[in-house]
Structure 1
Amino acid sequence: MKNYLLKQLRFVRENTINCVAEMNDEATLFIPDGFNNNINWNIGHIYVVQEKFAFYFIKEKMMMPNNVSKLYTTSTSPSNWGSQALPTINELIRLLKSQIDRIEQSLEFRLKEVIETPFTTSTGLTLSTVEELLSFCIYHEGMHFATIKSYKQIIQNEREKE
C-alpha cells in the first residue's frame, strides 16, 4: 500500500493538472492587472520547486529540460522572459505528470532519509528529511493552485465582458 504522503502529492497534482488541462496557451500567458505572473509561470514554478525539493537535496538527478529552471525559479517573472521559447501548457502538464511518477518510484522507500544539510524555507520552516521536503511541496503547490484558480476566474470574467 502506498504511503499517505505520496497519495496526497498525487491528489494535489491531479487537481492542479485538471484545473489547467482544457486551457489554451494564450490564456495561460495572460497576466491579470496588478499581478506579476501568469498561469504558465505558476505551473512551471510548481514543477521547478518540487524538482528541487524531491531530488536536489538528496543529490539525485533533476530533470530540468531546456530553460525551465531559468524561466520558473523563485523570483522570476514573465516580464523577464523576453522572446525566448516557452514550454506550452501541454508540455508543462507532461512534466507535472511524469514528475509525480518519478517521485513515487524513486522516493517511496526514502521518506525518512535525513538530508545532508537541512533547508530553511523563505518563511522560516526548517526541513530535514525527504518526507518533510515533500510535505512542504503540498503546501507550496496548494498556494499556487489557489492562484491559478483565481487567474482562471479573472480570465473568465474578462471574456464575459467582451
Structure 2
Amino acid sequence: MSNLIISQFGFTHNAFMNEVKDLNEKQLDAQPEGFNNTIRWHIGHVLTTNEQFLFGFPDNTEYIPEHYKNLFGYGSKPANWTGDVPSVDELTEQLSSQLERIKQIPEEKFAEKLPETMLGAETYGELVAIAAFHEGNHTGRVNAMKKVLNK
C-alpha cells in the first residue's frame, strides 16, 4: 500500500510543480479578486503543510525555517507578511527535496497509528494520503488563479 501512496504523492507533486513553473514574479505575487492568497503563498503553504503532517514541523525537522509556519501556515496570508519571504526558486527547491524525503519513508511507517486522529486519519499512511490530496487541492486553486491572471 505504501508504494501506491508514494506513487500518488509523486503524481500530485508533479502536477503541482507543473502548475507553478514558468510564472513571472507578477503572477506569483498577484492576488486576483475572489482569491484569499497568492500563488507564492500556495507554494509555501503546500511545503509547510506537508512538513507539518509528515515530518513534525516545526518541532521535529530542520529542513525548512520555523518562520514558514507564520508565513504559510493555516490562516496566514501574504497581506500580513513581514521580514524575510523566501523566493519561489527556494520554495520549489525545498518542495523537490521534500518529495525525495517522502520517498525515503520506510514502508513500516505507513502502518503506524497516530498518537491521535488527525483530519480523520488514524495511521501515518492515511495522513500521507491526506497530504497528497491537500497538494492536489492547491494544484486546482493555482490552476484557477492562473486562468484568472491570464485573461
| Fold similarity call, TM over 0.5 | yes
- Identical columns (%): 30
Conservation of the 8 A alpha-carbon contact between 1:112 and 1:131? yes
Q: Which has the larger radius of gyration?
A: 1
Q: Tell me the distance in 1 between the aligned counterparts of 2:26 and 2:107.
A: 37
CA distance in 2, matches of 1:87, 1:42: 13
Determine the structure 1 residue equivalent to 2:140: 146
Please report how far the alpha carbon of residue 127 of structure 1 lies from its aligned counterpart in structure 2 after TM superposition: 1.2
Q: How does 1:1-162 map to 2 (within 5 A)?
A: 3-56=3-56, 60-61=60-61, 63-65=63-65, 67-82=67-82, 84-119=83-118, 121=119, 126-157=120-151
Stretch moving more, 61-70 or 147-156: 61-70
Against the structure 1 CA distance between its residues 60 and 153, is the aligned structure 2 distance closer, same or farther, given a 3 Å change threshold? same
Secondary structure at 2:110 match in 1:
coil
Task: Give the conservation status (yes or no) of the 8 Å contact 1:44–1:92.
Answer: yes
Q: CA deviation at 1:151?
A: 0.7
Q: TM-score, with normalisation over the residues of structure 2?
A: 0.90
Rounded to whole Å, the distance in 1 between the matches of 2:90 and 2:25 is 10
Distance 1:38 1:5 in 2: 28
Q: Residues 62, 132 of structure 1: CA spacing in aligned structure 2 closer, same or farther, 3 A cutoff?
A: farther
- TM-fit CA distance, 1:60: 4.4
Structure 1 residue ranges without an equivalent (≥5):
158-162
Per-residue deviation, 1:66: 5.7
Mapped to 2, the partners of 1:62 and 1:110 lie a distance apart of 20
Where structure 2 has 5 or more consecutive residues not aligned to the other structure, the ranges are none
Structure 1 length-normalised TM? 0.84
| Secondary structure of the corresponding residue to residue 105 of structure 2 | helix
With 110-119 and 7-16 compared, the bigger mean Cα shift is at 110-119
Query: 2:104 is matched by which residue type in structure 1?
Result: Q
SS at match of 1:117: strand
**Aligned AA for 2:20?**
V
